Every structure is written in structure tokens, then in C-alpha cells.
Amino acid sequence: MAASTLAALGLAGTCLLFTYVLLSLVAGRRRLQHIPGPAWAEWTPLWLVRRQLGGRISRDLAALSKKYGSIYRIAPNWVVVSDPAEVRRVWAARGPWHRGEWYGMFKFNQPVHTIMSLTDNAAHGALRAKLVPGYSGRDVDNLHAVVDRRIADLIALIERNYLSARSGPLRPMDLAQKSQFLTLDIISELAVGQCFECLAHDTDTYGQIAFVTGSVPLMVAMAVVPRSFGLLQHPVVQAVLPQDKMAGVMRMMALAQAKAAERFGPSKKVARDMLGSFVAHGVSPASAWLETFGQIGAGSDTTATAIRMTLFLLLAGSPASYAALQREIDEAVRDGRVSGPITDDEARQLPYLQAVIREGLRVWPPVAGLMPKVCDTEQVVCGKRIPAGTNVCWDAISVLHDKYVFGDDAHCFRPERWLDEEDADKRRAMEQVQMLCFGTSSRWECLGKAIALIELNKIFVELLRRFDFSLVDPLKPFTTYDASLSIQSDLWVRVQART
Ligand code: HEM
């Protein structure tokens, strides 16, 4: 073929491609033109990618809600809802919505799905039914003992390395890091039957924290561009991935695979633990290790954020609440209403503790990701027409700080709001919205909620009955990067033994 013909074909192809891209952009823009939002977000997902990489996405969304109202657009095919009632309706267990492609990041590039990456409701429901008995603790003998044992490890570590005498030198402790050591030790022992021993060695033994810090910001940014995860397999991308940060996660995967393999085959190990429950209820070998691996991610950063941010809010947001909680604990200990260590049932009888836990999760939700849901038919949300296939996300901060539900001081940490409310309907409405932090009443409700609450019920009592905490630098209390979950460090505290 003549060079001139080739050039003409090339030019025609480029023009066609350009026209296609332009028409797609215009069509994409027109679909959601009736929903307000930032100008650039009408045309390209790059606006959202940039925000996601900026490390303050939930605060950015809350600011957009103030400007645009209860529903706004953040990308050509993405909207965000900040009205709690509408979020509950979209997430309703029997509703027509399913998860969006965003959840593909939780497939971890493996051939089979995890419970968190499944977007098909029927397939998700089938796998969930096999996991529920293990997560609920029904089939598991060691749940409470594991939590008690690892909290004892944290106490021992503090007493060994981090106690500051009242008049002696400061021995600062990074509460952000130690909270995560605790939750990693608990979840690794529950998930694979082998504790990571981060607390015993006072280090991130499997490099899990380094991995999350190094990879999650990129993952959540990629998740808003459909199918971009395929790129991760590309040799060029593989070459630029931080191999040192990947090494730990590879070891974690290998451990999960080895531990799951022990549960299958002719001489299989049978045990009444979480993995044992998954296998007993029909989870396949390929899924068993992956669920276990996913559990370590889902169960460590989240609960660590709840622990450290609740303690921080007590220290910085409301010293009076800190004192009230410590008083409740002291009185319960004195009256013999709590054992050593406290049981979950005993903790549930401490009203101020329960209010503190609820309030901590509400003010700083550990999972504030977009979590988009999609419907295959046209819907109406917040009074606006939502075309089929649109990603409908929640604005976690606006929902959980809603003034209509929680009062004018909704953004403040005030545990008393849970104790003072006398109107039963109002209180129920508050609880329903607050529990959205676990996805409660949706078909995707957090499977680890019971485990997380056991940890929270115990940790504050065991720490505050022994120690006094204060911030080392109240003007620079900690660093945080908001990437759907909070990546936090340098929450330095002074810990003193109580006399
Ligand atoms: C305070 C701590 C925690 C919070 C705030 C939290 C929050 C959430 C939320 C909001 C979801 C729903 C996601 C969606 O709608 O798609 C979820 C799902 C999930 N969480 Fe948690 N979580 C916490 C702790 C844990 C723990 C400790 C574990 C493991 C032991 C865990 C395991 C899971 C799993 C497996 C799912 C997927 C459920 C499904 O798809 O059916 N979470 N979590």
C-alpha cells in the first residue's frame, strides 16, 4: 500500500478516535447534567482521582455537600449522597442496588473474588452465608481469649518500654502505631491461627503497615477508573512498585495460603476457629486463604483507627468525657462489676463506655470510602433522576455529622448525646444513622462488627483502669491521610501508671 494511502488511513483513524472520545465525553456529561458539582468533574474522572490522592477526600466531599446540597456529581458517572435517609434507602438489604466496580480493588488481582469484591448480589449472598458463622463467633472457641491475650501483650509492652514517671523523663509512645500492632496481633491469630507478634517485638513484623501506607492511596485512586487494576500486572508497573513494601504482603499471602492448605486434603487439620468455620461451611480452598488474607486488612486498620481516634477525641476533644469514662470504670472495678480482664458482657453494662464507643465511631468513621452502589435500572435519589449504571456513593462525614439527626453540635465529640436523648424515636434514628459506619442494615454490613465491638468494649477499660494518657504535642497531635480508611501515625502520648 502506498505511503500516502497509509497516512490518509492513519489520519482518518485518529479523527474517528478523537470524535469517539469527544462524543463519549459529551454523552457522559449529558447523563448527569442535571446534578450539580465541580465543573471539571463533569468531564473527567481525573478530578476525583486528584482528590482521592490528595489525602482528604472525606473532608473535601463534606465541603462539596455544603456547597451543592444533598446530592452532587464528582465524576462523569459518579454522584455522592449526603442525606442519611437516602443513603439508608440505597443501601437497604432488599433493594435493587449492587456494588460498583470500585470494589474490584479487593480482588487483590487474584483469580477468584473475595467477599468484598463481589458485585453480584446473589454470589455475594451465597459466600456471605458461608462466612457468617465464623465471623459471628458461633463456631469459634478462642475469640474472647485471643482479644484478652493480645490486650495483655499491649499492657506488658507499655509497662516495659513506655511508662513515663510523674517526675522522670518522657518515654513517648506512638498510640497510632501501637493500636495497629494490637489489632494486627488479634486479627492474625483469629484469621490464620498465628499471631504476628507485633507487640511482642514492638515492630511491624509482616510489614503490613508499610504495605498499606505505600499502596492503599494508589489503589483507591485507581479504583475510580474502571478496569485500571489490569495495569498492575504490566511489567513496567510491576517494575516501579516499591518491592520492599511488597515483600511483607507477599509473606502474609504465603502464610495465609499455607495455613489454609492445612485445612484441606487427607490429613487435614480440623479446628473450631474462623478458618475452620469457613471450611466447614463449604468455602473452597482457593477462597479460604484469600478470605483469611482479606480479613487481616479489613480487621486491622479499621479497628485501630477506632481505638486511636476515640482515645484522641477523649484527650483533645473532651477532657471532661475522659474523666467521666475513667470514673465509670473505677466505680465498676471498685463495686466488683468488672473482672480482670473485663468481659464483653460486663462492658455492655457500662453506659458511658458504650456512649464513648458510639461517639468515637461517629465523629471519626474508620471506613469513609466512597463505597459506590449501582442500579441496573433508572432510579430517583434525593429527588434527582439517576440513570442506570451510575455510581452512587455516600458522604460519610456529612451523613454521620448530620445536624438534623444529631443536633447543632453534630461535629463535636460529646458522648452525652447518647445518654441524654429521652425521645425513643429520636434515639433510634440516631443509632440507625450512626451504625451506617458498619454498613448496618445493608446486605454488605461489616462481617467483623461483632469482633470489632468486642475489642472496643475491652481496650478502653483495660487501658484507662491502669494508665493516664496525655498528648505529647497538642498543637501537632498526629498525621493522617484519608484514603477511604485513615492512614495515621505519630500520635505521640505520654503514658503514666495510675497511683
Ligand atoms: C471499627 C471497625 C470496623 C469498621 C468501622 C468497619 C466498617 C465496615 C463497613 C462500612 C463495611 C461495609 C462495606 C460496604 O458497604 O461495602 C465493612 C465490611 C466488611 N468488614 Fe468491616 N469494619 C470494621 C472492622 C472489621 C473487622 C475487625 C473485620 C474482620 C474481623 C471486618 C471485616 C469486614 C468484612 C469481611 C466486610 C465485607 C462484608 C460483606 O461484603 O458482606 N471489619 N466493614
**What's the one-letter identity of residue 289?**
W
| % residues pLDDT > 90 (the chain) | 77
Query: What does the pLDDT average to over 42-69?
Result: 94
Report CA(31)–ligand 1 centroid distance (Å).
32
Give distance in angstroms: CA of 447 to centre of ligand 1.
6
- Cell output for 84: 442519611
Grid coordinates of 348? 455492655
Segment 158-175 shows an average pLDDT of 94
Number of structural domains (the chain) is 1
- With b meaning 16 or more CB within 10 Å and e meaning fewer, what string describes 423-436? eeeeeebbeebbbb
**Residue 447 three-state SS:** coil
d(CA 262, CA 276): 10
**Distance from first CA to last CA of the chain, Å, rounded?**
92
pLDDT tens per residue, range 104-139: 888 888 889 999 999 999 999 999 999 999 999 888
CATH number at residue 226: 1.10.630.10
User: Which atom of ligand 1 sits closest to the CA of residue 291?
Assistant: 35
> With contact defined as beta carbons under 8 Å apart, do 449 and 303 qualify?
no
| Confidence grade of residue 43 (pLDDT, cut at 50, 70, 90) | confident
Reported as a single tens digit per residue, the pLDDT across 314-362 is 999 899 999 999 999 999 999 999 999 999 999 999 999 999 999 999 9
Please say whether the beta carbons of 458 and 348 come within 8 A: no
Distance of alpha carbon 274 from alpha carbon 143, whole angstroms: 9
C-alpha 157 to ligand 1 mean position (Å): 28
- Residue 27 in domain: no
Q: What mean pLDDT comes out for the span 416-438?
A: 97
CB 346 within 8 A of CB 337: yes
Q: What is the pLDDT of residue 244?
A: 67
Least confident of 49-58, 213-222, 364-373, 417-426: 213-222
DSSP character string of 63-103: HHHHHH-SEEEEETTEEEE--HHHHHHHHBTTSS-EE-GGG
| DSSP E strand stretches across 343-484 | 373-374, 379-381, 384-386, 391-394, 467-471, 479-483
Quick one: pLDDT at residue 243? 67
Mean predicted confidence (pLDDT) in 394-408: 98
- What CA–CA distance (Å, rounded) separates 113 from 106? 8
Question: β-pairing, 373-374 with 98-99?
Answer: antiparallel
Pocket of ligand 1 (CB under 6 A): 115-116, 128, 187, 295, 298-299, 302-303, 306, 366-367, 371, 437-439, 442, 444, 446-448, 451-452
Written as nine digits, the cell of 20 is: 469517539
Residue of 135, 287, 446, 485 to test ligand 1 pocket, by largest number of atoms within 8 Å of CB? 446
Closest-CA residue, ligand 1 atom 1, reads: 303
Residue 492 has pLDDT above 70, yes or no: yes
Is 13 contained in some domain?
A: no
CA dihedral 341, 347, 350, 355 (to 10 degrees): 120
Task: Answer whether residue 487 is part of any domain.
Answer: yes
pLDDT for the residue 216: 84
Q: Is 446 annotated as a binding residue?
A: yes
Please state the atom number of ligand 1 nearest to the C-alpha of residue 135. 30
What's the pLDDT at 250?
A: 86
CB 431 within 8 A of CB 398: no
Q: How confident is the model at residue 218 (pLDDT cuts 50, 70, 90)?
A: confident
Sign of CA dihedral 247, 160, 180, 176: negative
Give the whole-angstrom CA distance, residue 255 versus residue 293: 9
| pLDDT of res. 356 | 98
- Give 189 Cα–ligand 1 centroid separation in angstroms: 18
Q: Is residue 198 part of a domain?
A: yes
Amino acid at 137: G
> What domain range is 171 assigned to?
32-497
| In a domain? residue 293 | yes
In sequence order, the 6+-apart residues with CB closer than 8 A to the CB of 317 are 363, 412, 413
Could you please report the per-residue DSSP string of 392-415? EEE-HHHHHT-HHHH-TTTTS--T
Per-residue confidence at 178, pLDDT binned at 50, 70, 90?
Answer: very high
The secondary element (H helix, E strand) that includes residue 345 is: helix 344-348
55 lies in a domain? yes
Q: How confident is the model at residue 9 (pLDDT cuts 50, 70, 90)?
A: low
Alpha-carbon distance of 180 to 198, in angstroms, equals 9
C-alpha grid cell, residue 104: 474490584
- Residues 136-165 have a mean pLDDT of 95
**What are the E-state strand segments in 320-390?**
373-374, 379-381, 384-386
- Residue-level pLDDT at 430: 98
pLDDT at 14: 56
Reported confidence tier of residue 375, pLDDT bands at 50, 70, 90: very high
Q: What is the pLDDT of residue 189?
A: 95
Residue type, 384: K
The 10s digit of each residue's pLDDT in 445-488 is 999 999 999 999 999 999 999 999 999 999 999 999 998 889 99
3-state helix, strand, coil in the chain (%, to 5): 60, 10, 30
| Residue 246 C-alpha from the chain's centroid | 21
12 in a domain, yes or no?
A: no
Residue 236's pLDDT is 72
- pLDDT averaged over the chain? 91
DSSP single-letter state for residue 342: P
Beta-bridged to residue 281, according to DSSP, are: none
Instruction: Give the Å distance between the CA of 370 and the centre of ligand 1.
Output: 14
Top mean-pLDDT range of 29-33, 171-175, 209-213: 171-175
Measuring from atom 18 of ligand 1, which residue has the nearest CA? 446
pLDDT at position 484, please? Answer: 81
455 in a structural domain = yes
Ligand 1 pocket, mutate which of 302, 394, 486 (most atoms under 8 A from CB): 302
Q: What is the pLDDT of residue 71?
A: 98
